[in-house]
Structure 1
Amino acid sequence: MLDPVDPRRTRPSAIGVEGAGSPRLVVALTLALLLALLLAVSGCGSGAGSQPANPLAGARLWVDPRSTAAQQADAWRARVGPAADAAVEAVTSQPVATWLAGQTDDPFDEAVRVTQSAEVEAALPVLVAYHRPGRDCGSYSAGGSADADAYLAWVGRLAAGIGDRPALVVLEPDAVAQALSGTCGSPADAAGVYALLGRAVDVLAERPGTRVYLDAGHAGWVGDLDALADALRASGVGRADGFSLNVANFQTTDASVAYGERLSALLDDAQFVVDVSRNGRGAPAATEGVDAWCNPPGAALGENPRTGPDRALAVALLWVKEPGASDGSCRPGEPPAGEFWPEQAQRLVDQRP
C-alpha cells in the first residue's frame, strides 16, 4: 500500500530546466498534484497506519488443559489407538473458547477457573456467553435463561467470576442476526432482544479487564449492512469493544474480514474478531436435506488462532467453536449440540487444506 503523498512536497525535477510559466511544466505540476491527491484519498482508511490500535496485539491466547476435547482425548485414544493422536493434538494444542451456556445454573466458578488459570500463565482467555432467553429460537441449541431478569442475574455472576482479570467475551452468538432476520419473532420481540443485549454489554463492560465483542452473525447471513449496524447499535455495540463474526460458521477468513470491514465502516471503525475454527474450505453446500451450517461433512479445520497486527480492524482470528463439537443432532446418530464428537474432529483435521 502506497503512503499518501503530501502535495506540498511534490516538486517536478524539471523545475531547473524550464521556466515556471512553461506549458509543459504547468501540465507536469498539475498531473503531479492530481496523482498526490489520488494517492492520499486511496490511502485514507485502507493503509495499516490508518487502522485503529489493536488492543489485543501481542496477547498470548490461553489454551485450556481441561477443554472438552482434552477431557475426551484419553478415552478416544484408548478406543481408536495411536491414529487418534494427530487429530487430538491439532485441537487440544490450540487456544479454544470456553462456552458458558448453562451447563450449570451459576457460571461464577467456571469463569473464576478460566480467568485465574489464564492469568497465572499471562495469557488471554476467550469466553462465550450463550444463555439468553429463547436461545437459538428453540432449535438444536435451545435453552437459556427463563426470562430477562434471570439472564441479567446470570450475566452478573459471569462478570463477578471474571473479576478484574483479563478476558475476552463473545456475547450471544446469533442473537442479533436472528432477531433482525425475524427468525425468532416480531419486530417488537427484536427490540426486546436488543435492549437486553445492551444491558448485558453494560454489565460485562464494567469489568476493567473484560473486552466484549457482540456477535453479528456471519458474511453469508444479513445482506443489509445498514440494518445490521442499526441493530448492533441498539444492542450496545458502541459500549462494547466491537463485534464478532462467523461464530460456529464456515465463511472464509477473507470473506469474513471483508464483510467485517464494511460493517465496521458503518460503526465508527468498530473492531471485530472472527471465528476461523472450521472455515478451512469455506462454506459448504447443504447435503442430505440438512442445512449447510449443521455438521457439514465437507468442513475443514481453519488456520490456527492468533491476534492481529498492532493496528487493525480485525483484531483476532479465534477458535470460538471448538472443532469437533457437534452443531446438533442434524442426522441420525449425530450427538446433541455442543457435545464433543471425536470422529468429526478427525474429519476436520483430515480435510484441512
Structure 2
Amino acid sequence: MRRALPKLSLLLAPALAGLLVAVHPGTAYAADPTTMTGGFYVDPDSSAQQWLNANPGDGRAPAIRSSIADVPTARWFGNWSGTIGTATGSFVGAAAARGKLPILVAYNIPDRDICAGQSGGGAGSGAAYASWIAAFADGIGNRPAVVVLEPDSLGDESCMTQTQISERNALLRNAIAQFNAKARNTWVYLDAGNPAWLSAETMAEHLAAAGVRGAHGFSLNVSNVYPTAQNTAYGDAVNAVLGAAKGFTKPYVIDTSRNGNGSDGTWCNPAGRRIGTPTRAGGGAEMLLWIKAPGESDGNCGTGTGSTAGQFLPQVAYNLVYGY
C-alpha cells in the first residue's frame, strides 16, 4: 500500500497525556501465545465465509472455501467495529474457546493511509485513539493473541510533518505499552511496510522511534504481494541496522496472503497475483500470516475498480486461487 497531503495536522489533546503510559525499555512482557494454543484460528465470520453462506450454489464457492475461507486469516478492527473492547473480546474469546490463536489487526490511527487515501480515516484525534487502543487491548485481556499494529503507519511518514510524525510515534509507543500492560499473552508486531517502500536503514529508524523495542516484533508486506524471500532479506536487513545502531533485534512476520506470484510493481488490486503460503509458524520468518484477507479489495483500483477498500469481491478471490 502506498499512500496526498494531510488536510489538518494531528493535534494531541491535553487529555491524551493522562492516557499515555510509559513503555518499558526492554522487550515485551508477553508469554508465548503459540504454546498456549493448538494452531491458528479460522474466523467463522470472515468476509469470504459470509459470501459463501449467502452463495452456496455459486460455482466458485468450492475453491473459495477450501483455498481461502478455511485458512486462518486476520480480522481487522477499526472505527467500523462498534464498541472495540467488546469486539476484540468476542473474537479472542471465540478463538480461546476452541484453543486456537487469533490474529487481529489494529487499524485506526488518526489520518490513516494519509498518502494514498484508499483506506483513509481513523480515529478523530490522538485522545480518541489512545482510548480506543486501550479498550482494544483490554478486550483481549490475558487470552493468547497476535496483533499487527497499524499497517502503513511508519511508511506513510513522507506525507507528514515532523510534528505529525512525533505525535504518531507517541501514539504507537503508547499502544505498545497498553498491550504490554493489559494483554500480556499477546505478541504485538509493529508494521514495517514492505521491501519496496523504504530502505532498511530508514525503516529501522522509524521502528525504533515508534517504540518497537517494547513490542514483540514487526510485520512486513501487509496487503502487498512481494515474495517471501524478498521480505526475509528485507527483514534481516532491518534487524542488522537495529542491532548495529540500537543494540537489539526483533522477530518479524510476513503477510503471505497474496504473494504467491510475487509483484508486478503495483500494489492496489493487481491482476495476475496468487495466494501464498497459508498461515503457519516459521517459513523464514517467525510466522507467515494471512493478514490481508484474499478477495477483499484494496480500493477503487486495478481489478477492484468500482469497489471500496475492504469489500469482498468473489471474482477477485477466485482469481487469486488460480493466479489469474
Same fold (TM over 0.5): yes
Unaligned runs of 5+ in 2: 1-30, 243-247
Q: Does 1:269 align with 2:243?
A: no
Query: For 2:153, which of 171, 175, 180 is the aligned residue?
Result: 175
Cα deviation, residue 235, structure 1: 0.6
Distance 1:253 1:121 in 2: 30
Indicate if the aligned counterparts of 2:33 and 2:186 stay in contact, CA closer than 8 A.
no
Return the offset for 1:56.
Answer: 6.1
Cα deviation, 1:219-250, whole Å, max 9, x if unaligned, reads 11102x22221211111100000100000000
Letter in structure 2 aligned against 1:84? A
CA distance in 2, matches of 1:255, 1:170: 20
Determine what percentage of the aligned residue pairs are the same residue.
37
1:120 paired with 2:91, answer no
* Equivalent position of 2:188 in the other structure: 212
- What RMSD over aligned residues (CA atoms) do the two structures have, in Å? 1.9
SS in 2 for 1:82: coil
CA contact (8 A) 2:254 2:289 kept: yes
Rounded to whole Å, the distance in 2 between the matches of 1:321 and 1:167 is 17
Letter in 1 for 2:192: A
CA distance in 2, matches of 1:60, 1:298: 30
Q: In 2, Cα distance between the equivalents of 1:334 and 1:56?
A: 40
Q: Does the 8 Å CA contact 2:155/2:198 hold for their aligned counterparts? A: yes
The letter of the residue matching 1:277 is: S
Query: Is 1:93 matched up with 2:70?
Result: yes
User: How far apart in 2 are the matches of 1:222 and 1:333?
Assistant: 27
Residues 1:247 and 2:225 are matched in the alignment: no
Q: What TM-score comes out, normalization by structure 2 length? A: 0.83
Q: Which residue of 2 aligns with 1:315?
A: 286
The one-character-per-residue Cα deviations of 1:231-271 (angstroms, maximum 9, x if unpaired) are 11111100000100000000100000111011122232210
2: CA distance between counterparts of 1:55 and 1:177?
Answer: 28
Q: 1:7 — aligned with what?
A: none
Instruction: Report if the CA contact (8 A) 2:33-2:185 is conserved.
Output: no
Contact 1:133 1:143 in 2 (8 A): yes
- Runs (4 or more) in structure 1 with deviation over 6 Å come to none
Amino acid at match of 2:93: Q
Q: Give the structure 1 partner of residue 7 of structure 2.
A: none
For 1:132 and 1:105, the matched residues in 2 are separated by 16
Higher relative contact order (CA 8 A, sep 6+): 2
Contact persistence 2:33–2:145 (CA under 8 A): no
Deviation at 1:320, TM superposition (A): 0.1
Q: Name the TM-score, length of structure 1 as normaliser.
A: 0.77
1:257 — aligned with what?
232
Report what 2:53 is aligned to: 74
Structure 2 distance, partners of 1:319, 1:236, is 24
Distance 2:293 2:207 in 1: 25
Query: Larger C-alpha radius of gyration, 1 or 2?
Result: 1
Query: What residue is the counterpart of 1:32 in the other structure?
Result: none
In structure 1, the partner of 2:130 is 152
Distance, in Å, in 2 between the alignment partners of 1:116 and 1:74 is 23
1:165 and 2:140 are equivalent in the alignment: no
Per the TM alignment, residue 77 of structure 1 is displaced from its structure 2 partner at its CA by 3.2
Q: Deviations over 1:261-283 (max 9, x none)?
A: 11122232210110000000101
Alpha-carbon deviation of 1:105?
4.1
Q: 1:279 aligns with which of 247, 256, 259?
A: 259
What CA distance in whole angstroms lies between the structure 1 residues aligned with 2:129 and 2:34?
32
Q: Which of the numbers 289, 314, 317 marks the counterpart of 1:345?
A: 317
Give deviations 1:271-316, integer Å, cap 9, x for gaps: 011000000010123xxxxxx111001211111110127xx7x210
Quick one: which of 297, 306, 311 aligns to 2:280? 306
Instruction: Please report how far the alpha carbon of residue 57 of structure 1 lies from its aligned counterpart in structure 2 after TM superposition.
Output: 5.8
2:308 is aligned with 1:336:
yes
Q: Gaps spanning 5+ residues in structure 1: where?
A: 1-53, 286-291
Letter in structure 2 aligned against 1:274: I
Distance 1:345 1:303 in 2: 15
Count how many residue pairs are aligned between Structure 1 and Structure 2: 284
Indicate yes or no: 2:301 matched with 1:325: no
The one-letter code matched in structure 2 to 1:279 is N
1:23-42 correspondence runs (5 A): none
Deviation of 1:131 (Å)? 0.2
| C-alpha deviation, 1:333, in angstroms | 4.4
Counterpart of 1:43 in structure 2 is none
Distance 2:74 2:60 in 1: 26
Residue correspondence of structure 1 range 196-207 to structure 2 within 5 A: 196-206=171-181, 207=183
1:112 to partner: Cα distance: 1.2
